[in-house]
Amino acid sequence: MAIGSRFLNDTANYYMNCKANVFTRVLPTYESITKAFGSCIKKSNIAILEPSKSEQGILEKKLCDFWEIDYVLCRESGSYSQQNWESIISGSKMKLFLVKRPKTNNDNFYSFNQYENLIDHIFRKY
């Protein structure tokens, strides 16, 4: 699971109840580490690492190989993280599942997957 730490425990608990052996990679932040080690995931199934943009997912790929990962769950964001997981999965037997961001009915809520899109929106609106 590479979904962020906010819903890590609930998501892990769901899949563990489905008899999945759950692993996670979290970013090296206080909040992520605290939530990961406070979750229901076995401590030996938690990796803390900052993805390297210059190594094309080598660390994550080695981790998946070491843990013998079959499925990867990550957020559908269009960001580097999603692209990295797509690259890691291509040419392997692993399957990638993307979690969509929920839709909102609030006209004052905007979501952008790239910084440039945010800037473009601001300049068009104002």
Residues of the chain with pLDDT under 50: none
Residue 103 has what pLDDT? 63
The architecture that CATH gives domain 8-125 is: 3-Layer(aba) Sandwich (3.40)
Residue 107 has what pLDDT? 64
Per-domain boundaries in the chain = 8-125
CA dist 112 and 42 (Å) reads 34
Where are the alpha helices (H) located in 25-74, listed in sequence order?
30-37, 58-67
Helix (H, G, I), strand (E, B) or coil at 99: strand
Residue 43 has what pLDDT? 97
CA contacts within 13 A on the Cβ side of 16: 15
CA dist 33 and 25 (Å) reads 10
**Cβ neighbourhood burial of 115 (10 Å; 0-12, 13-18, 19+):** exposed
Residue 37 has what pLDDT? 97
Residue 35 has what pLDDT? 95
Is residue 74 within a helix (H) or strand (E), and if so which, with residue range? Answer: strand 71-75
